[in-house]
A and B are shown apart, each in its own frame.
Chain A
Amino acid sequence: MTELEAGRAQALTPVRGGAALHRYRDVLIALIAFAVLASLPLFTGSKALLDFVIRCSAYGLFATSLNLLVGYTGLTSFGHGMFFGLGAYSFGLIMQKLGVPIPVAFVATLAITAMVAAIIGAICVRLKEIYFAFVTLAFQMLIHSTILSWASFTGGDQGLRGGIPRPAFLGIDLANHVHLYIASCALLILGLLAMRQIAQSPFGYTLRMIRDNAARASFLGIDVWRAKLTVFVLAALFASMGGMVMALFVSGAYPEFAYWTISGEGIFINMLGGVSTFLGPMVGTVLLLLLNDTVTRFTEYHGIVLGVVILFFALGLRKGLLDFVAEWFARRRDAGEGRHA
């Protein structure tokens, strides 16, 4: 065997059949994660801990979906939070006004989100970089203002009050705290698994090509605009799912869910956790919520503390936490290989 052939054989084995294997590995990890999360109520009666996981589910879905845009496609949206708010409000309103079963409201909300995202996306994804960021921000403010001013429908600045009805379905009673907890975990895991599939599909690699070099991608026959619009809508769906989990959790919807600071927190989470690994935003979510919960307990100047933390990540590490860890492992592995060679 020549050196070239040897290199080829060694490189080919992991690739062949590897794609299917990776998929099973991801499903396995998801199942284990779900089993661990779902068994948590057996070991602890702490309502605060379960609440924390539910909030992580809502924000985690939102932040990971934002990373599909920021990290994988290079579309830095400053208005992604609008779909979080849209999900919460659509779901809450459908449940309050129509009284349909929860799964129906869930699917209807996703359909509404897809439509709205397709319209807004069609306008935004033609724009480059900072213009894209600003116009998405403008749409976010538009939706927020609409919620505030259309008080007869949305409750204005009071939000959707009076609670969201949570009728039991298929033996699942989301008014029950543990049921709600399990359902949130299930949505999180399913959502992450679906987004992981998107990221590792041929479409996911199309997104990476667009991020790296959109002009070259179009010279390979890729319709860049259509791919960007598709991922914009897909990401909106998962953000909307996050919004629904939040609405179920607080049994209501508030204008803050649609305010630009939600988008800001999404970006913040991505910077904390890192955008070059799939689970970076999930790590960021846990970090941010932990920081939020602990720091607000000790000082009213929590904004300053969070600011210092983000400066540390941006200027000190120059990347998110999981990016940093991943690179450290890669360097160690390379160094190890260098020594053996």
Chain B
Amino acid sequence: MLEIRNLAKSFGGVKATNDVSLDFADGSLTAVIGPNGAGKSTFFNLITGALRPDSGQVLLDGVDLAGLSPPEIVRHGIGRAFQVASIFRSLTVQETMLAAVSADQRSSAVLHKRFPLAETRDRAEHVMELLGLAGKRNRIAATLSHGDQKLLDIALALVLEPKVLLLDEPTAGMGPEERWRMIDKVRELWETQKITVVFIEHDMDIVFKIAPEIVVLCYGRILATGTPDEIRNNSAVIDAYLGTEHAGAAA
């Protein structure tokens, strides 16, 4: 279980994350929404160690990870994908996967053997199949389509076999149809891999349709948490964010 306790981070006078406490149950799927500047990405950066929290705890199965470096946090089992696909441009899809497994198996500093190590193959293969990248294994990452680059980014996080997977806007920059394909993939991964998934998403139709749990952030604070129905009818959320149009549509 991932428990966030009183997490806080300020930039100058701006409280980007202000006393946030949340629980993510094992195997849950949660969407984080909120207007621009609500502190969604900062929240992810604090959990994954990209930013050091001013105060508070990030407890994964009872172990406090707050303030650790990204490599340490990854090794504890929190993987992430990025808003802008963060990949290794000159490596092929297959090399990317094999090298990531190497990193996870702590063989990334091995000098006396040839890449790839035999023991990295099965896991790399499995995740490529899972994300439908197996047919593009020999493509250089930079030449992949935008959507495939996002999938490769997620594959990089997934191949480490994390307990918790954080996806920062998996559908960013995609057209409507591609969005649905991507989010169906995310949901499928969540269902088959039995991991805790937290994702940031702007498209309310997607969020209300697929996320059993929703967290609404606003000005660094939690505005509301709950099921889609609870969020849809929450007056604070409607005022701050959704506007009356969505409330009307839901009615």
Identify the A interface with B (CB < 8 A): 3-4, 7-8, 11, 15-16, 19-20, 22-23, 197-198, 200-206, 208-209, 211-213, 215-223, 226-227, 230
Contacts and interface: CB of A to CB of B under 8 A. Distances in A.
Contacts of A198: 111
Given A206-B108, A220-B160, A200 B89 contact: no
B99 A206 contact: yes
Contact of A11 (B48, B87, B137): B137
For the complex of A and B, 4 pairs with smallest distance between CB atoms = A19-B114, A212-B88, A220-B103, A206-B108
Given A209-B88, A219-B80, A201 B160 contact: no
Interface string B161-181: 000000000000000000000
Nearest to B48: A219
B112 A216 contact: no
Contact of B156 (A201, A218, A220): A220
Interface size class for chain B?
35 or more
> Is the contact region of chain A dominated by helix, strand, or loop, or is it mixed?
helix
B41 interface: no
B1 interface: no
B108 A203 contact: yes
Nearest to B76: A221
A213 B138 contact: no
B135 interface: yes
B115 A221 contact: no
B99 A209 contact: yes
Interface string B71-96: 10011000110100011111100110
A218 B99 contact: no
Contacts of B75: 221
B99 A205 contact: yes
Interface of B: 48, 50, 69-71, 74-75, 79-80, 82, 86-91, 94-95, 98-100, 102-104, 107-118, 121, 134-135, 137-138, 156-157, 160
Most chain B C-beta atoms within 10 Å of own C-beta, residue among A20, A201, A202, A215: A202
A205 B99 CA distance: 7
Nearest to A22: B114
Contacts of B118: 19
Contact of A221 (B74, B94, B135, B137): B74
Contacts of B112: 197, 201
B205 to A, nearest CB: 30
B135 A213 contact: no
Most chain A C-beta atoms within 10 Å of own C-beta, residue among B74, B80, B91, B103: B103
Contacts of A23: 114
A222 B87 contact: no
Contact of B107 (A7, A20, A202, A211): A202
A14 to B, nearest CB: 10
A16 B108 CA distance: 19
A216 B102 contact: no
A201 B71 contact: no
A208 B98 CA distance: 13
Given A197-B111, A201-B114, A209-B88, 4 more contacts: A206-B103, A206-B109, A212-B90, A219-B79
A197 B48 CA distance: 34
A205 B71 contact: no
A213 B87 contact: yes
B103 A216 contact: no
B18 to A, nearest CB: 25
A200 B115 CA distance: 6
Contacts of B160: 220-221
Nearest to B116: A19
Nearest to B82: A216
A310 to B, nearest CB: 24
A205 to B, nearest CB: 4
A201 B98 CA distance: 12
B115 A202 contact: yes
A64 to B, nearest CB: 16
Nearest to B136: A7
A202 B109 CA distance: 6
